[in-house]
Amino acid sequence: MLAIGKSVSEIIMKPALWPENVKVGDVVYPPGGALGPRIQYSIELVIVHTGEMTVWIDGQRHFAPAGTVSILFPEREERFVFARHCETHHSFMHIHLPDLPADVRQRLEALPWPLPLSTAMHDLIRSALNLSRSPLSTADMLLKTLGLHILLRYLGEGERLLAGEEATHPAVERARQYIQAHLSEPLALADIARAGAVSPPHLIRLFRATFDRTPIAYLWDQRVRRGIELLEDTGLPVSLIAGQCGFQTSYHFSRRVRQATGLTPIEVRRRAWGGADEQTRYNEQEH
């Protein structure tokens, strides 16, 4: 979410924010590796996976440890030195936006440097790297779209930090994504903690601090939320929706939906659809 300034929709409507070109790469520097000096030609995001990076920008020193993402701006002189005692693995994305609106650049320049590397940002960069090697005829257009997506996510995450909101703990983010991908499956706390790469007690503490609920309570909240979405947006029978959202019975699903909304599943659907048509009445009778 963008907490400061204009909305995302207002930003992406600017024709100048469509990239002319996007280039993505991945490199491992040996201990003591260096780059530059050079003049930056585009907006560049640099993701440090392991090792560290020190960069002098117009003579000013900046430091980025592992697990961070940094932004570089065009027309600045840069010189890089990487970790002296270990390899430095980093990914990079050049986003060529020669007519970047001044207000957008100002917002990007105002962000903390570097930002913590979120799980979502990491996954987007890996997707971009895979896409850069894709044989699809639409790969270039897809990469430009993804490049804009990544830049806007960087802006959103940075402005969230500026607003005083702490970044989500990586273990929580990993666990949350695992939950979303496995809603229909039987999940135990141990499974979720394993996905988060932490112990179950530690994950409980992290979830309580982040969401004010346990991982299992969060799981059931997400199952109900997904079930309500399917009720509102599809014509699937209630029993099938219950199964797809991880409920063992339609009764359990209906009870949780009523607790969340004060309505039965069929009433949730009626409210969303503006009344019951013949197919809805059929589904009520059959399911």
Residues 158 and 174 in one domain: no
Tokens 């999940």 found at: 187
pLDDT for res 173: 83
CB neighbour class for 62 (10 Å; exposed up to 12, middle 13-18, buried from 19): middle
Q: Which of 113, 135, 162 is the last residue of a domain?
A: 162
CA distance 32 to 47: 18
Residues 174 and 144 in one domain: no
- In this prediction, residues 164-184 reach a mean pLDDT of 83
Residues 25 and 158 in one domain: yes
CA distance 238 to 78: 59
Residues 175 and 140 in one domain: no
Tokens standing for 61? 């020193």
Q: Which of 162, 185, 217 is the last residue of a domain?
A: 162
Number of domains in the chain: 2
Tokens standing for 152? 């806007």
Which CATH number belongs to the domain containing residue 233 in this structure? 1.10.10.60
Residues 137 and 210 in one domain: no
CA distance 24 to 147: 9
Average pLDDT, rounded, for the chain: 88
Residue 1 inside a domain? The answer is no
Residues 114 and 192 in one domain: no
pLDDT for res 120: 83
Question: What percentage of the chain carries pLDDT values higher than 70?
Answer: 89
* CB-based contact 40:73 (threshold 8 Å): yes
Residue 2 inside a domain? The answer is no
Residues 49 and 13 in one domain: yes
Closest-CA residue to 35 (of 63, 49, 56): 56
Which CATH number belongs to the domain containing residue 86 in this structure? 2.60.120.280
CA distance 90 to 54: 13
- Structural domain span for residue 226: 170-286
* CB-based contact 52:66 (threshold 8 Å): yes
Residues 61 and 139 in one domain: yes
pLDDT for res 119: 78
Q: Which of 162, 192, 213 is the last residue of a domain?
A: 162
